[in-house]
């Protein structure tokens, strides 16, 4: 089964990372990724760029509101993710615990759904499968 490890950090973690030499951050994450590769469980993952390059679309009001950067608006930042192929929820948890993150960081661990989670005969599900094929994102 596939699990997604979603990296989230609050301001404390972001500040701590800013104080840490970039080489060290890369080295620690690199070593973790290498461990996942060498265990044969890593099947995907991406990091996200600085949060102030992003923006927020807020659905709280009548019209969606677009604002710059999430600072001050949200407590946690979504920084990147891994997708692991493991044999159990507990194995996913065990790998998540080994991630080199510090105070202010959280990993949210979610099972990635597959075709078996949806009704195969639903028209929209079938359409989506077709789109995924075109986009090569399945």
Partner 1 sequence: MTDATTRRPPDEAAARRAVAAVWRIESAHVVATLTRMSGDFDLAEEMAQEALVEALEQWPRTGVPRNGGAWLTTTAKRRLIDTWRRRERLDERYRALARDLEQATDAPGYDPDRIDDDVLRLVFTACHPVLSREARVALTLRVVGGLTTEEIARAFVVPVATVQQRIVRAKKTLGAAHVPFAVPERDEFAERLGSVLGVLYLIFNEGHSASSGEELLRPELGREALRLARMVAELVPAEPEAHGLVALMEFTAARFPARVAADGTPVLLADQDRSRWDHGAIARGRAALARADATGRGRGAYGLQAAIAECHDVAASVDDTDWARIVLLYEALGRIAPSPIVELNRAVAVSMAEGPATALRMVDALAASGALRTTHLLPSVRGELLARLGRGDEARAEFLDAAARCGNERERAVLERKAADAVTA
The answer to whether the Cα torsion of 123, 132, 138, 31 is positive or negative is negative
Chain positions 9 to 28 lying near partner 1, rule: CB under 8 A, are: none
Nearer CB in complex with partner 1: 18/137: 137
Candidates 47-55, 59-67, 84-92, 103-111 — which segment interacts with partner 1 by CB under 8 A? 84-92
The DSSP symbol for 4 reads: E
x/- track of binding to partner 1 for residues 32-61 (CB under 8 A)? --x--xxxxx-xx-----------------
| Residue of 6, 91, 106, 109 interacting with partner 1 (CB under 8 A) | 91
Shortest Cβ 115–partner 1 spacing (Å): 5
* Cβ pair 36, 82 in contact under 8 A: yes
End-to-end CA distance of the chain: 15
Residue (of 29, 47, 27) closest to 98 by Cα position = 29
């Amino acid at each position: 089964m596939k699990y997604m490890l979603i990296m989230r950090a609050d301001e404390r973690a972001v500040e701590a990372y800013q104080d840490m030499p970039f080489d060290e951050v890369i080295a620690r994450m690199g070593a973790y990724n290498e461990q996942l590769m060498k265990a044969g469980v890593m099947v995907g993952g991406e990091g996200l760029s600085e949060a102030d390059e992003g923006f927020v679309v807020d659905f709280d009001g009548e019209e969606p509101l677009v604002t710059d950067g999430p600072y001050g608006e949200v407590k946690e930042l979504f920084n990147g993710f891994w997708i692991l192929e493991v044999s159990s929820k507990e194995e996913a948890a065990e790998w998540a615990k080994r991630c080199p993150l510090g105070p202010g960081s959280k990993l949210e661990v979610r099972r990635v759904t597959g075709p078996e989670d949806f009704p195969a005969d639903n028209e929209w599900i079938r359409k989506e499968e077709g789109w995924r094929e075109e986009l090569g994102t399945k």
